[in-house]
Chains A and B, each alone.
Chain A
Amino acid sequence: MTTASTAPVQRLSADQWALRGLVLVLLALFALFLALPLAAMLRKSFEDRDGAFVGLANYVAYFSTPALSISLWNSVFVAATTTAIVLPVALAYAFALTRSRMPGQAAFRAVVMVPVLAPSLLPAIALVYLFGNQGMARWALFGHSIYGPIGIVIAQVFFNLPQAVMLLAATLSMADQRLYESAAALRTPKWRVWTTITWPELRFGLASCALVTFVKVITDFGSAIVIGGGYNVLATDIYKQVVGQLDFGMGAVIGVVLMVPAIVAFLGNQAIQRRQQAVLTSRSVPYVVPPSLARDAALLAFCALVAASMLVILGVAAWGSFVTYWPYNLSLSLRNYDFANFDPSGWAPFANALKMAGMTSAIGTVVVFMGAYALEKARGFAAATSLAATLAMMPLAVPGLVLGLSYVIFFNARSNPLEPLLGTLFLMSVGTLVHYYTVCHLTAVAALKQLDREFEAASESLKVSLFRTFMRVTAPICMPAVLEIAGFLFLAAMASVSVLIFIYAPDTRVASVAVVNINDAGFTAAAAAMATCIVLCCAAFKALHALVVHVVVRRSSAWRRRDEG
Chain B
Amino acid sequence: MDPAVRIEGVVKRFGAFAALDGIDLDIRAGELVCFLGPSGCGKTTLLRVIAGLERQDAGRIHQGGRDVSRLPASQRDFGIVFQSYALFPNLTVAENIGYGLANARTARPARVARVEALLALIGLEGSGGKYPAQLSGGQQQRVALARALATSPSLLLLDEPLSALDARVRLHLRGEIRALQRRLGVTTILVTHDQEEALTMADRIVVMNHGSIEQVGRPEEVYAAPRTRFVAQFVGTMNFLRARVARDGRGDAGGVEIACDTAGLAPGTDIDIAIRPEDVQIAPADAGGPVLPGTVEALEFLGAGFRAAIRLDGPGGRVPLLCDMTRREMAAHRLAPGARCGALLAPGAALAFACG
Q: Tell me how far the C-beta of B126 lies from the nearest C-beta in chain A, rounded to whole angstroms.
A: 17
Cα of A452 to Cα of B51 in the assembled complex, Å: 18
Stretch at the interface among B88-96, B275-283, B289-297, B344-352: B88-96
CA distance A468 to B102 in the complex (A): 11
A561 touches B90 (CB 8 A): no
Q: By the criterion CB–CB under 8 Å, are B9 and A6 in contact? A: yes
Q: Which of A6-36 contact B (CB under 8 A)?
A: 6-13, 15-16
Most chain A CB within a 10 A radius of its CB, from B71, B74, B78, B102: B74
Give the shortest distance, in Å, between A437 (CB) and chain B (any CB). 28
Contacts of B131 in A (CB 8 A): 558-559
Which residues of A sit under 8 angstroms from B59, Cβ to Cβ? Answer: 6-7
CB distance from B60 to the nearest CB of A (A): 6
How many chain B residues sit at the interface, stated as a range, is 35 or more
Contact of A458 (CB < 8 Å), options: B9, B75, B86:
B86
- Please report the C-alpha to C-alpha distance between residue A203 and residue B131 in the assembled complex, in whole angstroms: 43
Set of chain A residues within 8 Å of B151, measured between Cβ atoms:
462-463
Q: What is the CB-to-nearest-CB distance from B145 to chain A, in angstroms, rounded to a whole number? A: 13
A494 to B79, CA, bound (A): 50
Given contacts A10-B52, A558-B131, A559-B133, whether A462 and B100 have CB atoms under 8 Å apart is: yes
Minimal beta-carbon separation of B89 from chain A (angstroms):
5
Chain B contacts of A477 at CB under 8 A? Answer: 89-90
Task: Specify which chain B residues have a CB less than 8 angstroms from the CB of A415 in the assembled complex.
Answer: none
A477 CB to closest chain B CB (Å) equals 6
A473 lies within 8 A of chain B by Cβ = yes
Q: A454 near B84 (CB under 8 angstroms)?
A: yes
Interface size in chain A (residues, C-beta < 8 A):
37
Question: Is A457 an interface position by the 8 A CB rule?
Answer: yes
Whether A16 pairs with B86 at a CB distance below 8 angstroms is no
B148 at the interface (CB under 8 A from A): yes
CA distance A6 to B56 in the complex (A): 10
B150: nearest residue on chain A (CB-CB)? A462
Considering the complex, give the chain B residue whose CB is closest to the CB of A477.
B90
Contact B9 A460 (CB under 8 A): no
Task: Give B77 Cβ to nearest chain A Cβ, in Å.
Answer: 9
Q: Are A458 and B72 in contact (CB under 8 A)?
A: no
Q: Is B136 an interface residue (CB 8 A)?
A: no
Q: How distant is the Cα of A391 from the Cα of B280 in the complex, in angstroms?
A: 66
Q: Which of B9, B86, B103, B104 contacts A452 (CB 8 A)?
A: B86
Contact status A473-B90, CB under 8 Å: yes
The reply to whether B103 and A463 form a contact with Cβ atoms under 8 Å apart is: yes
Contacts of B84 in A (CB 8 A): 452-454
Q: Counting CB contacts under 8 A, is B187 at the interface?
A: no
Partner of A7 from the list B52, B56, B71, B86 (CB cut-off 8 Å) is: B56
When the two chains form the complex, which single residue of A11, A461, A473, A560 contacts B148, counting CB atoms closer than 8 Å?
A: A461
Q: Please determine whether B72 and A559 come into contact, CB atoms closer than 8 angstroms.
A: no
Interface assignment of A345: CB less than 8 Å from any CB of chain B: no
Interface residues of A in 532-565 (CB under 8 A from B): 556, 558-561
A463 to B132, CA, bound (A): 21
| Beyond A8-B60, A15-B74, A472-B91, 13 extra complex contacts between A and B, CB < 8 Å | A7-B56, A10-B71, A11-B71, A13-B74, A453-B84, A458-B80, A461-B148, A468-B103, A477-B89, A558-B131, A559-B90, A559-B133, A561-B133
